Amino acid sequence: MPGFSAPEIEGKLSLRASRTSELVLDKVNVPDSNRLPEAKGLSGPLSCLNQARFGIAWGTLGLATDCYAEALKYSQERVQFDKPIAQFQLTQKKLVELHTDISLGQIMMLQFGRMKESGNLRHQHVSMAKMFCCELGLRAARVARSILGGSGILADFHCMRHSQNMESVFTYEGTHEVHELILGREITGLDGFS
């Protein structure tokens, strides 16, 4: 439509595999025939956003799992002081914590998926999922990179790329803090947005 443009954003250091553009609406006249059917106010676009957030939660859980698997394999193969670094207590602690949090995330997402199928999933659940899984993905990428040491910054491994992508995912489709406020309002009944 006249007035719409999508200039590409250049120089990204994260999410580099996809093209990203700014959406500019300059005096765009959208006819009533293009309205979302039965949508009132922001409920239409926000319901779409909820679907995106739910998918992001699953994706970041997968990213965390990939980082964990990469760190586990590397730690079992990398020998320091005549033994694999997976045998060191601090490495085991990191792996155990990641494994546990990933398992918790999988259980949560499985339950939320069942709730979604039955029509009982609320937007607060989706905020919790995105908030938890994004934080887990970011932490998993950082922990995996620390287990890999200097090798963790090499293109041969995925954890550094995942870390850079997670920095963006952590903030898009609602920042971490926005989801905390959504859940805070649900828990306390008080609106922290105002």
* 3-state class (DSSP) for residue 2: coil
Is 173 annotated in the active site?
yes
The CA-based angle 136-176-147, given to 5 degrees, is: 25
Question: Side chain identity at 136, as an amino acid letter?
Answer: L
Residue tagged active-site, from 10, 38, 167, 173: 173
The CA-based angle 32-37-42, given to 5 degrees, is: 85
Whose tokens are 């989801």? That residue is: 179
| Tokens describing residue 166 | 């997670």
Kindly give, in sequence order, each residue whose CB lies less than 8 Å from that of residue 154, ignoring residues fewer than 6 positions away. 160
Instruction: Tell me which residues are annotated as active site.
Output: 173
